[in-house]
Amino acid sequence: MTAAVFLSGVGSLSAAAFNFTPITGIDEDNKAEILQLRSESVYMINMDNDEVLVDIESDKQRVPASLTKIMTAIVLLDEFGGDEEVMSSTRYSAGSEAFDDIYDTGASTADIQPNEKVTCTDLLYALMLPSACEAANIIAIGMCGSIDDFCDRMNAKAEELGMKDSHFSNAHGLSGDNNYTTCRDIAKMCTYALETYPLFKKVVGTYDYTLSPTNFHPDGTYIYSTNYLLGSNGENKYYYSRCKGIKTGTLDTAGRCFASYAESDGVRYLTVTMGAPMDKLDEDYQKGLENPASVYSDDVIYYNLVDHINLYEWAFLYLDETQLVDKNSELREAKVEFGESGRDYVTLKPEHGMSIYYPSYQSKKDITKTIDVYKDIVAPVYKGDRLGELTLRYKDEVIATIPLVATENVNRSKLDETKEIAKAFPSSTEFRVALLLIILFALAVFIIHIMIIQSKYRKRD
């Protein structure tokens, strides 16, 4: 697990060097009580800077179940540029070809019927709230004429987003045949959708909705989300006010999966988990007996939702913004040659600051800093010139490299430069070459002179 890092400016950063452990609290002996996560793969980032907070097998390829529908939604939104007005005036429908692969499977639906014309906006709500599989197929056929062609669009988009460990073979996620992705890749597409399309953000943050009337449903169709963290009714034990949305996914071959994001006091986190248990674990029966009001008293426990709530509670409670580098701090002086008026140094400061979200219960002694200043710095030096580097390490592994820049100008001294050049010239290669040429020239003159004299003596003889 890694710390989120705030950077202003550009620097080399490898936040994966951090390794924090989420906790549930501090016991009487001042020891941290480790948070037990049920999901097999976990990926949690700070949405404001994309830095990783938690990474547990985030690159392991898994069956995504209905998290597949997030990509289906993206392809649909791309088709219309996210324009809700146009999507609300465009209707798709499909015949039995959109229903054949979901009959008698227990697939989630929104009760859309064959040949029922539904607006693309309503299809998006049906897709993302109750996770309607027929809505996914209707979108695919309505856009591309076939599910296979739509999957080509899904995979092209995955490649565009840098989802290197993903492949989609259907639009709904009901089958895991050649349909796989990773927590990290899902985070990429969630981030893209949230940042690109306000309509996506609006839809995935909605708990319940009524589809527009059609000839099959003259009063519309009431639907609600499988993301119970959004449901604020009094009977919902999973409601979590900080959660702002996205989507669940459940399949026997995938376990319970979930992608969500939460916000509190201006800080936003995105979490993707896959592979949580489908069945209630034996050790949780006792928890239910001890606390009948808890989720553990129910016959079915949504461990994916529990993991997300616990991770967000840990992050919001125990991660504090901690400044590691002050961009205004003067860290070192660098020697400068040929500075004007005897100025032979310049003060260096970081090009940008650096702060991380660091656990309040963990010592910072494992974070170290080293400074390297460039050699042979020659005036003129200008404010902002990069003249060194500040390297930060966590447990001896480099986590960030920040350039050090000059805080002021240092002009060149022409007189000092001339003196230094003159002083250095006798020991320079140029001087040696010039001296050799002079010697050779003098030797040649001498030889010619001897030859002329000998020629005169021959003439006398």
Tell me the pLDDT tens digit for each residue of 247-285.
999 999 999 999 999 999 999 999 999 999 999 999 999
Same domain, yes or no, for 437 and 452?
A: yes
Count of Cβ atoms closer than 10 Å to residue 4 Cβ = 25
Question: Phi and psi (nearest 5°) for 94?
Answer: -155, 155
Whether 30 maps to a domain, the answer reads no
Cα angle 198-134-59, degrees, rounded to a multiple of 5:
60
Domain range for residue 446?
431-461
C-alpha–C-alpha distance, residues 395 and 120, integer Å:
52
358 and 231, same structural domain?
Answer: no
Q: Are residues 339 and 301 in the same domain?
A: no
Residues 6+ apart with CB under 8 A from 320: 357, 358, 359, 360
Decide if 284 contacts 301 (C-beta within 8 A).
yes
Residues 247 and 341 in one domain: no
Low-confidence spans in the chain with pLDDT less than 50: 1-13, 15
Residue 352 shares a structural domain with residue 208: no
Distance in angstroms (rounded) separating the CA atoms of residues 37 and 310: 8
Name residue 355's beta-bridge partners: 6, 323
Q: How many domains does the chain have?
A: 3
pTM of the model: 0.84
Question: Does 313 lie in the same domain as 345?
Answer: no
381 and 240 belong to one structural domain: no
Do 1 and 47 have their domain in common?
Answer: no
So what's the pLDDT on residue 356? 86
Give me the CATH number covering residue 203: 3.40.710.10
CA–CA gap between residue 149 and residue 74 (Å, rounded): 15
**Residue 23 domain-assigned?**
no
Residues 6+ apart with CB under 8 A from 29: none
Query: Is 399 a member of any domain?
Result: yes
Token readout for 134 is: 């027929």
Question: Residue 287 domain-assigned?
Answer: yes
Same domain, 304 and 375: no
Does 21 reside within a domain? Answer: no
Does residue 222 lie within any of the structural domains? yes
Is 86 within the bounds of a domain? yes
Per-residue pLDDT, 418: 64
- Inside any domain, residue 28: no
Question: Are residues 277 and 386 part of one domain?
Answer: no
CA distance 38 to 415: 73
